[in-house]
Amino acid sequence: MTAKAEIQNRQATDQTTWASDLVNPEATANLANALATQATPGLTVLLEGPVGAGKSYFARCAIQSLMAQTGMIEDVPSPTFTLVQTYELDQLDVWHADLYRLTNPDELIELGLEQAFDTALCLIEWPDRLGDLRPAGALNISLTPDAKDPDRRFVQINGPSEIVTRLIAAMETQ
């Protein structure tokens, strides 16, 4: 195995999982705000969960937090029908994609999403539609609604240890 392959293999297996209860929408927003403080070009966040889990809410909060850092105030619509909404924020482009209506992963190439994985913060809802285009170093955030409390969510985050560790530290300062 080459040195480069060993590093990639270590990076691929150096994963951390973190889980928590998000007791109300404010807790979900705080997690999204913490993510915004860690946003960098090339970070892909895969948002998983059933309809109504809070994926769009989470993405909207993260984007609005990034906008606030640059002094922008703008509506952040769900990309359910457009598939992708893009935002140019100073030195960070943000792509918010809702792939629910996507029927074939080849459509992602037409959208330009594959290139955005390298150059922008990408927030992807319904990442199962990515197929083989799913980025290896992505941060996975799974949201599960509580059956008894509509405001409560269970979150599980899995991804590269360095990113998860920084996100947890950022959460603690929120």
pLDDT digits (tens, 9 = 90+) for 42-83: 999 999 999 999 999 999 999 999 999 887 777 786 777 678
Is 129 within a domain?
yes
How many domains does one find in the chain?
1
The residue written with tokens 């309809």 in the block is: 51
In a domain, 11, yes or no: no
- Helices marked H in the chain — which ranges? 3-13, 25-37, 55-69, 106-111, 113-119, 161-172
What three-state secondary structure class fits 157? strand
**Would 66 be classed as within a structural domain?**
yes
Per-residue pLDDT band for 13 (boundaries 50, 70, 90) equals low
Q: Classify residue 174 by its DSSP letter.
A: -
- Tell me the residue range of the domain where 65 lies: 19-172
Whether 155 has a pLDDT exceeding 80, the answer reads yes
User: For the domain that residue 134 is a member of, what is the CATH number?
Assistant: 3.40.50.300
Closest Cα partner for 157 from 19, 26, 49?
A: 19
